[in-house]
Amino acid sequence: MNGITPRRNTFIWLIALILVGYYVLTRFFELTGSFSITSSPSGTQAADMAISVDLSWHAPISSNINSLSSAINGTGIYGFIFNSSTLPQGTPYGTYNWCNMPHVRRTEYPKVNSSYALEYVEVIHRHHKRTPYASNTFPVESYPWYCDDEGLFYAGAPLPTHGANQAANTYWSVYTSTSNPLAPRGFNGTCQFPQITREGLDDSWQHGKDLYDVYHDLLGFLPKKYDPKVVSFRVTNNVITSQVASMLVSGMFRGEEHENVPLLIQPSNIDSLEPAYSCSSASNKFSSYGAGSSDPGWTAHLKAASDLYANLDAISGVSPTDSGFHMSFDHYFDNLSARLCHAKPLPCSISNPSLCVTQKMAEEVFRLGQYEYSYLYRDAGARTLEYTAASYGIWIAELAQNLRDAMHATDSASNGSKKKSSGMKYRHNVAHDGSVSRLLSILQIEKMVWPGMGSEVVFELYKGKKDQQYYVRVLWGGQVLKSSNPTLGVLDMVRADILIAYFDGLAGQGAKKIPSLCSV
Ligand SMILES: *[C@@H]1O[C@H](CO)[C@@H](O)[C@H](O)[C@H]1NC(C)=O
Ligand SMILES: *[C@@H]1O[C@H](CO)[C@@H](O)[C@H](O)[C@H]1NC(C)=O
Ligand SMILES: *[C@@H]1O[C@H](CO)[C@@H](O)[C@H](O)[C@H]1NC(C)=O
Ligand SMILES: *[C@@H]1O[C@H](CO)[C@@H](O)[C@H](O)[C@H]1NC(C)=O
Ligand SMILES: *[C@@H]1O[C@H](CO)[C@@H](O)[C@H](O)[C@H]1NC(C)=O
Ligand SMILES: *[C@@H]1O[C@H](CO)[C@@H](O)[C@H](O)[C@H]1NC(C)=O
């Protein structure tokens, strides 16, 4: 149905199983050699012999999200919220809210029982709500958008240990001059497009506070005060992630707003978090089935939505031949949702102000956006996993190494060893929908959606107190993530060596498979 790639047949599955079996056998010796799962020598590790990871793609479950007839002919938007960071009264927390997605919070946190000790946490989430990107704005907008209620502090300053001259707290203030005859694209006003909005900054602060409430107040895991030896924050080369991080850190470690906090960032051409490294094979794969392709599995929904497109173009003034707006619903989706999240009206035609985008049209755009993300990252078959494993393989290899390091650090500490290890207990990554989507694709989430503002995935590493084994729990929107891949299944206390073997299988330890996977 829907022209979606059918499941792989049994034959291919068998071949995959044989390959994986071979991989596991060869890998077993590497695994037990590089880090010890138990302190006994190999031979008594029968349990480890049983590590078998299935690296193949498994279809997501069928739901409204990935049904074309529901996207085109359905009504409403599946109970999802698009019009405020705050849920309407009576709507339970955990409900999809594009403006401010659910995350780990004390009231809903599923607590693990006392037979496990939490050893390491890694968080990744999409930035919070923002203005639209300039490229997603209509050629002419009928109202301005102001951001005078916040400052974008963009500055350089010597670190205290490297100079006495202090910096002033300078920030960007967007203006246009009467002597400049050119009009900005899209909105007039005082925002950079994009920038995190004032409300998005507040959501970021609250997100930090909610995490601290759980990992400090409830679990006593995070230190009371910011400590760079055990906590670190990472951003991408897109400045909006730094705008989120400054608020989030303050929400976590209140009262220390004036402390200097480093935000880790990789060079822009190799940044694995965004991701920004180039991977031509992955891009080629994506263009062969995704936005811009003529793959019938992709174009089916664009054709079915031709009436909607005609109506939107007539109102927005976007040319029907504008490929950016017509190869996917991304632009219209961003364009309409950003307004609604900030309680701005849906747009009307400049030339005919009585012709406006209706709530019904917006809802169809939102259903189609969900359909597209499910198709691009899950439904389009094994190529979705090939695409995301290559284009996000470096980040998952970094995550796998962070987990290995944390296990190693815990073991050597409990051994009374003075051997130095990083000791990092909590890493926090502020990223994008492209980052979170790829990760969800790699984890083969059962029900894919477009990750809204603040969408969060948390990896928690535990050590069993009795068996001294390591386990990982993965939380999506604050609750246990369910995978369609039987090796991962319900990601609730999955043995850490299994999850790591899965990541290693896709990307290689140290992401060593990525250079060759990417360069073709
Ligand atoms: C939507 O409904 C119309 C009218 O019933 C039908 O012709 C069309 O095939 C449906 N579209 C999809 C994608 O199911
Ligand atoms: C947002 O939409 C919901 C229904 O989807 C509605 O109940 C609520 O009143 C709306 N809130 C605002 C702020 O418009
Ligand atoms: C803790 O949880 C695990 C797994 O859910 C379960 O097997 C175990 O019996 C529980 N232990 C206690 C003390 O409740
Ligand atoms: C929506 O798209 C139009 C057309 O390019 C653009 O002018 C407008 O600024 C966009 N608005 C938003 C909120 O993205
Ligand atoms: C935006 O500014 C331009 C000049 O910079 C002006 O011509 C136009 O009318 C303004 N649009 C709105 C909606 O204020
Ligand atoms: C802990 O110490 C014992 C004895 O010194 C050693 O055999 C074992 O390998 C160590 N375990 C780890 C995980 O370092």
Q: What is the pLDDT of residues 3-14, one digit of tens each?
A: 333 344 544 554
> CA quadruple 82, 87, 92, 93: dihedral positive or negative?
positive
- CB distance 134 to 417 below 8 Å: no
- Tens digit of pLDDT for each residue in 209-266? 999 999 999 999 999 999 999 999 999 999 999 999 999 999 999 865 567 899 999 9
- The DSSP line for 111-127 is PPPTTEEEEEEEEEEE-
More confident residue, 27 or 83: 83
Contacts of residue 332, defined as CB under 8 A and 6 or more positions apart, other chains included, come to 312, 316, 325, 365
Going from the C-alpha of 238 to that of each of 21, 57, 221, 339, 437, the distances in angstroms are 41, 31, 30, 21, 17
Residue 40, pLDDT score: 29
Dist. CA 407 → ligand 6 center (Å): 13
Going from the C-alpha of 37 to that of each of 45, 266, 326, 467, the distances in angstroms are 9, 31, 52, 11
Distance between CA atoms of residues 204 and 208, nearest Å? 6
Dist. CA 241 → ligand 3 center (Å): 38
- Tens digit of pLDDT for each residue in 375-402? 999 999 999 999 999 999 999 999 999 9
**Ligand 5: which atom is nearest the Cα of residue 176?**
5
Does ligand 6 come within 6 angstroms of the Cβ of 40? no
**Burial degree of 197 (CB within 10 A; 0-12, 13-18, 19+):** buried
Dist. CA 130 → ligand 1 center (Å): 35
Put simply, whether the predicted model's pTM sits higher than 0.75 gets the answer yes
- Best residue among 83, 85, 199, 363 to mutate for probing ligand 2's pocket (most ligand atoms within 8 Å of CB) is 83
Mean of pLDDT over the chain: 89
- CB distance 287 to 293 below 8 Å: yes
Amino acid in position 269: N
Dist. CA 356 → ligand 4 center (Å): 13
Q: What angle do CA 248, 333, 288 make, to 5 degrees?
A: 105
CA dihedral 202, 205, 207, 208 (to 10 degrees): 180
More confident residue, 418 or 416: 416
Q: What is the mean pLDDT of residues 421-429?
A: 89
- CB distance 437 to 291 below 8 Å: no
**Which residues lie across from 8 on neighbouring strands?**
none
- Tens digit of pLDDT for each residue in 136-191? 677 777 788 889 888 889 988 888 888 888 899 899 988 889 999 998 877 888 88
Residue 468, pLDDT score: 95
Residue 254, pLDDT score: 81
More confident residue, 298 or 417: 298
Residue 27 has pLDDT above 70, yes or no: no
- Tens digit of pLDDT for each residue in 87-122? 999 999 999 999 999 999 999 999 999 999 999 999
Residue 35 has pLDDT above 50, yes or no: no
Does ligand 3 come within 6 angstroms of the Cβ of 73? no
CATH superfamily of the domain spanning 101-138+146-156+193-282+381-518: Phosphoglycerate mutase-like (3.40.50.1240)
Going from the C-alpha of 195 to that of each of 4, 153, 256, 352, 474, the distances in angstroms are 36, 12, 24, 30, 30
Does ligand 5 come within 6 angstroms of the Cβ of 139? no
Residue 2, pLDDT score: 36
- CB distance 437 to 451 below 8 Å: yes
Q: What is the mean pLDDT of residues 425-444?
A: 98
Residue 204, pLDDT score: 98
Residue 49 has pLDDT above 70, yes or no: no
Contacts of residue 41, defined as CB under 8 A and 6 or more positions apart, other chains included, come to none
Residue 238, pLDDT score: 94
Residue 162, pLDDT score: 85
Min mean pLDDT across 33-37, 106-110, 206-210, 284-288 is at 33-37
More confident residue, 135 or 61: 61
**Residue of the nearest CA to atom 14 in ligand 1?**
69
